[in-house]
């Protein structure tokens, strides 16, 4: 699996099964991504050995996560 979005979605689905009942804290403005989505984004980047933020943003460009 070399597609970043596929890896992200697989990790996100597994995290939702494990930690689906965890809710985020109330914030004044609504975040673009939930806590589980951020964790799965980070885990997918680590899994694919993406070291820098710039490289991660290149993978995300043109996707729904942009």
Q: What is the pLDDT, as a whole number, of residue 64?
A: 80
The model carries a pTM of 0.77
pLDDT digits (tens, 9 = 90+) for 3-48: 888 998 999 999 888 887 766 667 788 878 888 888 899 999 999 8
Q: 65 and 8 in contact (C-beta within 8 Å)?
A: yes
Residue 1: pLDDT band with limits 50, 70, 90 = very low
**Based on the number of CB atoms within 10 Å of its own CB, is 4 exposed (0-12), middle (13-18) or buried (19 or more)?**
buried
- Higher pLDDT residue, 63 or 20? 63
């Amino acid at each position: 699996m070399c597609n970043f979005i596929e890896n992200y979605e697989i990790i996100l689905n597994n995290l939702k099964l494990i930690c689906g009942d965890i809710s985020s804290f109330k914030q004044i403005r609504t975040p673009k991504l939930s806590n589980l989505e951020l964790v799965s984004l980070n885990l997918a980047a680590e899994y694919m050995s993406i070291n820098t933020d710039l490289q991660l943003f290149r993978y995300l460009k043109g996707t729904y996560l942009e």
